[in-house]
Amino acid sequence: MSESSPWEALPRYFSYERASTPRQLEEIFRLRYEVYCREFAFERPEDCPGAMETDEYDAVSLHCLLRHARSRTVAGCVRVIVPPDKGSELPMAAFCGDSLEPGPFHPGNHPKDRICEISRLAVTARFRCRPGEKRSPVGNPDPDGVDDREARTLPLIGISMFVAAAALVRVAKREHVYAMMEPKLARLLGRCGIHFQQIGEIVDYHGTRAPYYIHLQQAERDGNANLQMLYAFMLGQLDGSDPSKAGF
């Protein structure tokens, strides 16, 4: 992959790992603790033994770990919850079910083995925040200690994690994709061609969030050229399949 644009340069500065080993998962849980407990107080530290933020959905999820290539530090994470045929609901339905609109996009209207939820997207403060800024777990970063070419990639990290999540959705063979997210993030994704549809009311759930839905094929079809390129790369990294057979 060349580096004529910040999107093309991302894989030089960051690696996207399919996290499955105990060490990788511990790195993710510790990052989530720092972001969700210490920075934003979305979860209580006393509920997170060992300074690791975990829940019952981690065991039925595919996880992606974002690593800064130069320092080898953990920069971000995201998971895709893939509930089994029987058992747990998506967190969206379990915790925010009253805010969901009835209709064709409701998760209860699809087979459980075809639905999934993008969840726990977090980027560490070093790669997210301007000095004094703590407005969002995705943010708009400008950290010290990076060259100009690397700095140009940093505002793209949050969106790139959604692209990684989409690759995991494809790996999991799911198609109906849900997420609780900030409306401004949904608008940002929409400008890149990823048009999530809001399917319920805005609620206070790990901050101001609303429930959203998209079909994977729509995301694969409508993403702009930069996301198409990055998605093909992600599939090769997270699945090992031939990226030329996929679109985004």
Q: Residue 49: its pLDDT value, please? A: 93
- Does residue 245 sit within a domain? no
- Does residue 139 sit within a domain? yes
Q: Residue 140: its pLDDT value, please? A: 46
On the 0-12 / 13-18 / 19+ scale of CB atoms within 10 A, 49 is exposed
Q: Residue 239: its pLDDT value, please? A: 80
- Does residue 244 sit within a domain? no
Pairing mode of beta strands 197-198, 176-181 = unpaired
pLDDT digits 0-9 by tens, 192-220: 999 999 999 999 888 889 999 999 999 99
- Does residue 247 sit within a domain? no
Better pLDDT: 233 or 2:
233
If one counts the domains in the chain, the total is 1
Tell me the two tokens of residue 202. 């805005």
Sequence-distant (6+) residues with CB within 8 A of 111 are none
Please check the confidence at residue 94 and state whether its pLDDT lies above 50.
Answer: yes
Cα 53 to Cα 211: distance, rounded to the nearest angstrom: 22
Q: Which of 71-85, 133-147, 229-243 has the lowest mean pLDDT?
A: 133-147
Stretch 140-167: mean pLDDT: 80
CATH at 131: 3.40.630.30
- Does residue 197 sit within a domain? yes
Give me the helices (H) in 98-182, please.
148-153, 157-171
Sequence-distant (6+) residues with CB within 8 A of 30 are 51, 52, 74
Domain that holds residue 56: 6-239
- Does residue 248 sit within a domain? no
Better pLDDT: 116 or 141:
116
Cβ proximity of 110 and 204 under 8 Å: no
- Does residue 26 sit within a domain? yes
Q: Residue 95: its pLDDT value, please? A: 87
Q: Residue 136: its pLDDT value, please? A: 53
Q: Residue 242: its pLDDT value, please? A: 37
Cα 202 to Cα 189: distance, rounded to the nearest angstrom: 18
- Does residue 99 sit within a domain? yes
Tell me the two tokens of residue 27. 């790195």
Top mean-pLDDT range of 37-41, 70-74, 175-179, 239-243: 175-179
Query: How does DSSP assign 87-155, residue by residue?
Result: SPPPHHHHHHGGGBPPSTTSGGGS-GGGEEEEEEEEE-GGGT--TT--S-SS-----SS--HHHHHHGG
Please check the confidence at residue 246 and state whether its pLDDT lies above 50.
Answer: no
Better pLDDT: 76 or 4:
76
pTM above 0.75, yes or no: yes
